[in-house]
C-alpha cells in the first residue's frame, strides 16, 4: 500500500511496526527486540521477536509472539507465551514450552541462579458479586460495595487482585507456588500503568522486590503512596524499604554486585506529577541518598551501568527527552547534581533504555516524523547510530514534515516553547488552516513523541499547520513550571494556549479565518474552556475525553488523589474559586462554535457524562456538533479499527468545518 502514498494517512499509520527493545544477547553481540503490528482484519496486534547485530545489519526473526523476554544463564532466550514459559536457543531454534502450570502466569521471571520462577496471577480476596455473598444465587447479577475505588481506569472492582508468586523451577518443573502477598487486597503490578518493572529478583536470587500500594478502598483512592517491599525467600519475611517516603516509589533496580538499590521517588503523597527523584540505597546499611535533590528536573527510566559506577536515566529537557547519567562517587552519599551529565541532545526523544554492552547503550528513539526505532549511543561522545529500520520502506515513500521550535512570550512575560509542524509540501507563499494542539496530562511532556492517535505527522500531512505549545504544567522547563498548573487549570495555561496561537497567527502563511483547537483529557478540557473564552479566534473544535463540568467530574472520577491535588473537593470553600472560574460548563452561554466530541464508554478517569453533557449543550444551543462514542474504549483508543474510525471522523470534521 505504501507504494501508492506520498503522504501519511490513517491507514498507512496503522501499518507501521511498533518497535520495543528487550535485551542484549549473552555474548553482547546482538539486540533482541519485538515488533508489534496491528492486524486490521482481526482488530488486534501481533508481535514478532527479532535479533539484530549490535553493529547493525539485517534482523533475524527468532519467534512469533513473545513476552517477558530474558537472556538466561548459558545464553538461551526465555519468554512467555499464552501464560506459560518457553525457552529457545539464541538463534531462535529449538523453541520448547518448559512449563505446563495450572492457570496463566504473567510477568514471568526466572531467578538469576535459575532455581526459581516468579510470576503474577489474579487472586480472589474480596467478596463483591451477588454470588460471592450468596452462593445459593449463582445467577444473580449484582455488585456490592462498601468502600471507594469500586472501579479503576476501565474496570469495575471484582474482588480479584494481582499478586506476586514464586515457586521452585527445575527445567520446566514448577513447584508449589507461594503467594508472597497472602490475602492482601493490593495489586502488583500497579494498576493501570505498572508492568514487569514492578517486580524484580535480587542478583543472588534470594529475595524478591516488588512495588505496591498497601492501601484499600478510600485510602487507596486518595493516596499515591506506593512502596518498595523486599521478600526474603529463606525467612519468608517482608520489609518495607521505603517506609516514611510518602509519594510514588517505583521502578527498583539493583546493581549487578547487589550492593545498591536505585529507584524513582516522589516526595508528596497525592501529587501524581511531583518531581521524580533518583534515590540510591546502600543495601547493607540502609542509607538512602537523593541523587537529584537539587537538580531542577524530573527523571524516568533509571538503570545502573554494567560496572555499577553510573546510573543512567531519561529526562525531558526543553521539549525533548534525553539520556543523562549520574557518576557515582566513591562515597555515593557525596554524589550531587554536579555529577549529572547530559549524554544526548537534539530534536528527538530518547524514550527508552534497553541495555548496555561495553561503551554502547541501546535506546529507543522517536521524533515527530518517525515511530520508535532502536539506536546505539556512544556513552562517551553521545553519538548515535540507528540500529533497526523496521519502518524505513514506508517513510522513504512519503513526505516528511518540517518541525520548528518557536519561543513565544506569554501574558506574564515568560518564554514558552512551542513546536510548529508544517505540511510536507509547505509553501510559505500560501495560507494554511492551523490547529492549536492542547496536550493532556495535564503534566505530561509535549516532546518529540510519536503518537498513533494524536500524530502530528499525520495531521500536518493532510494540509494543516499544527501549533503545539509547552504551556504551563509540562516537565522539561523546571520544577516550578511543571507544578504551577495545579489549582490553576483554567488560568495561566489557557492564556498560554492563546498566546501561542496568536503569536503563530502573525505569520503570513497562517489563515487566521481557519483556526481550530483540538485535544484529549486535559487537552479536551482545554478545548471546552476555549470554546467559552476564545473570542471568535477559532472556527472549529475537537475534544476527546475532556472534563466539561468539574463538579460532576469530581463526583464520578476514581483516582481521587489527582482530583484532590489539582482541583479539590467541591464542598470545600477553599476551592470555590476553582469551581467558579475554571469549569467549562460555567461558560456554556458563550458556546457558539462547531465542535466534535469524542468519548470512551469505559473511561472512568473522565467518565461518560462529561462528553454527553458537552454534546447535549451544543445540540440544545443549535451548534453544529457531533458525538463520536466508543463503548469499549477507555481513556485511549486501542482497537485498530476503532482508531481508523477515530482518524477518519477527525479529518472529515475538519474538512466540514475548517
- Among all residues, which ones are annotated catalytic? 521, 603, 635
Which one, of 541, 494, 487, 528, lies nearest residue 613 by Cα? Answer: 528
Which one, of 447, 373, 387, lies nearest residue 18 by Cα? Answer: 373
Which one, of 53, 28, 117, 113, lies nearest residue 80 by Cα? Answer: 117
Q: What sign results for the dihedral spanned by CA atoms 490, 507, 417, 368?
A: positive
State the Cα angle at 361 between 357 and 365, rounded to 5°: 145
Q: DSSP letters of 537-569?
A: --SEEEEES----HHHHHTT-S-HHHHHHHT--
Distance set, CA 523 to CA 5, 235, 482 (Å): 31, 50, 16
Read off φ and ψ for residue 500, nearest 5 degrees: -65, -50
Q: Which long-range contacts (CB under 8 A, 24 or more apart) does 230-239 make?
A: 230/202, 231/164, 231/180, 231/207, 232/206, 232/207, 233/116, 233/166, 233/205, 233/206, 233/207, 233/208, 234/206, 238/180
What is the spatial order of strands in the sheet that 320-327 belongs to?
299-304, 310-317, 320-327, 340-342
Residue 318: how many CB atoms within 10 A of its CB? 12
H-helix segments, 82-190: 130-133
Tell me which DSSP letter residue 64 carries: S
Contacts of 173 (CB under 8 A, 6+ apart): none
Whole-angstrom distance, CA of residue 167 vs CA of residue 177: 5
Contacts of 452 (CB under 8 A, 6+ apart): 13, 14, 16, 18, 371, 643
**H/E segment holding residue 33:** strand 30-39
Whole-angstrom distance, CA of residue 70 vs CA of residue 109: 8
Amino acid at each position: 500500500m505504501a507504494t501508492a502514498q506520498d503522504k501519511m494517512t490513517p491507514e498507512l499509520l496503522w501499518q507501521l511496526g511498533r518497535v520495543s527493545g528487550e535485551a542484549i544477547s549473552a555474548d553482547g553481540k546482538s539486540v533482541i527486540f519485538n515488533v508489534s503490528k496491528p492486524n486490521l482484519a482481526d482488530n488486534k496486534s501481533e508481535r514478532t521477536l527479532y535479533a539484530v547485530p549490535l553493529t547493525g545489519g539485517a534482523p533475524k526473526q527468532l519467534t512469533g509472539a513473545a513476552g517477558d523476554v530474558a537472556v538466561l544463564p548459558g545464553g538461551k532466550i526465555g519468554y512467555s507465551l499464552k501464560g506459560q514459559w518457553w525457552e529457545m536457543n539464541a538463534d531462535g531454534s529449538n523453541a520448547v514450552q518448559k512449563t505446563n502450570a495450572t492457570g496463566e502466569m504473567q510477568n514471568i521471571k526466572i531467578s538469576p541462579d535459575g532455581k526459581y520462577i516468579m510470576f503474577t496471577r489474579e487472586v480472589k480476596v474480596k467478596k463483591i458479586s451477588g454470588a460471592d455473598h450468596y452462593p445459593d444465587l449463582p445467577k444473580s447479577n449484582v455488585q456490592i460495595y462498601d468502600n471507594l475505588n469500586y472501579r479503576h481506569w476501565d474496570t469495575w472492582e471484582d474482588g480479584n487482585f494481582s499478586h506476586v508468586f514464586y515457586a521452585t523451577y527445575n527445567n520446566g518443573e514448577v513447584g508449589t507456588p507461594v503467594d508472597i502477598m497472602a490475602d492482601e487486597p493490593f495489586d502488583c503490578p500497579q494498576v493501570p500503568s505498572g508492568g514487569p518493572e514492578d517486580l524484580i529478583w535480587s542478583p543472588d536470587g534470594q529475595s524478591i522486590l516488588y512495588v505496591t500500594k498497601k492501601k484499600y478502598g478510600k485510602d487507596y483512592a486518595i493516596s499515591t503512596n506506593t512502596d518498595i517491599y523486599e521478600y526474603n525467600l529463606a525467612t519468608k519475611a517482608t520489609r518495607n524499604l521505603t517506609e516514611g517516603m510518602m509519594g510514588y516509589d517505583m521502578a527498583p533496580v539493583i546493581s549487578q554486585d547487589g550492593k545498591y538499590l536505585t529507584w524513582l521517588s516522589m516526595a508528596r503523597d497525592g501529587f501524581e506529577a511531583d518531581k521524580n527523584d533518583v534515590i540510591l540505597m546502600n543495601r547493607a546499611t540502609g542509607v538512602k541518598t537523593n541523587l537529584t535533590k537539587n537538580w531542577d528536573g524530573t527523571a524516568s527510566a533509571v538503570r545502573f551501568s554494567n560496572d555499577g559506577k553510573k546510573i543512567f536515566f531519561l529526562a525531558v529537557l526543553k521539549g525533548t527527552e534525553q539520556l543523562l547519567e549520574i557518576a557515582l562517587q566513591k562515597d555515593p552519599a557525596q554524589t550531587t547534581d554536579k555529577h549529572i551529565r547530559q549524554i544526548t541532545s537534539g530534536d528527538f526523544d530518547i524514550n527508552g533504555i534497553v541495555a548496555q554492552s561495553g561503551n554502547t547503550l541501546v535506546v529507543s528513539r522517536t521524533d515527530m516524523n518517525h515511530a520508535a526505532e532502536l539506536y546505539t549511543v556512544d556513552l562517551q561522545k553521545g553519538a548515535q547510530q540507528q540500529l533497526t529500520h523496521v519502518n524505513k520502506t514506508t517513510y522513504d515513500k512519503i513526505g516528511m514534515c518540517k518541525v520548528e521550535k518557536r519561543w513565544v512570550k506569554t501574558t506574564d512575560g515568560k518564554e514558552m516553547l512551542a513546536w510548529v509542524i508544517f505540511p510536507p509540501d509547505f509553501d510559505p507563499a500560501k495560507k494554511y488552516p492551523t490547529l492549536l494542539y492542547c496536550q493532556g496530562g495535564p503534566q505530561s511532556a509535549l516532546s518529540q513523541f510519536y503518537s498513533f492517535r494524536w500524530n502530528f505527522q499525520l495531521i500536518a500531512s493532510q494540509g494543516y499547520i499544527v501549533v503545539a505549545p509547552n504551556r504551563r504544567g509540562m516537565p522539561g522547563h523546571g520544577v516550578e513550571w511543571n507544578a504551577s498548573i495545579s489549582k490553576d487549570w483554567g488560568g495561566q495555561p489557557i492564556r498560554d494556549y492563546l498566546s501561542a496561537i496568536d503569536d503563530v497567527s502573525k505569520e503570513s502563511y497562517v489563515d487566521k479565518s481557519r483556526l481550530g483547537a483540538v485535544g484529549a483529557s486535559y487537552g479536551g478540557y482545554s478545548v471546552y474552556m476555549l470554546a467559552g473564552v476564545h473570542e471568535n479566534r477559532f472556527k472549529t473544535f475537537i475534544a476527546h475525553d475532556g472534563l466539561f463540568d468539574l463538579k460532576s467530574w469530581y463526583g464520578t472520577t476514581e483516582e481521587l488523589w489527582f482530583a484532590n491535588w489539582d482541583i479539590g473537593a467541591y464542598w470545600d470553600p477553599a476551592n470555590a474559586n476553582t469551581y467558579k472560574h475554571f469549569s467549562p460548563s460555567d461558560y456554556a452561554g458563550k458556546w457558539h462554535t462547531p465542535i466534535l466530541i469524542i468519548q470512551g464508554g469505559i473511561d472512568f478517569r473522565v467518565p461518560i457524562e462529561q462528553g454527553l453533557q458537552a454534546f447535549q449543550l451544543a445540540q440544545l444551543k443549535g451548534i453544529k456538533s457531533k458525538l463520536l462514542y466508543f463503548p469499549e474504549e477507555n481513556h485511549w483508543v486501542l482497537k485498530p479499527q476503532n482508531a481508523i474510525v477515530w482518524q477518519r471522523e477527525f479529518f472529515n470534521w475538519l474538512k466540514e468545518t475548517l
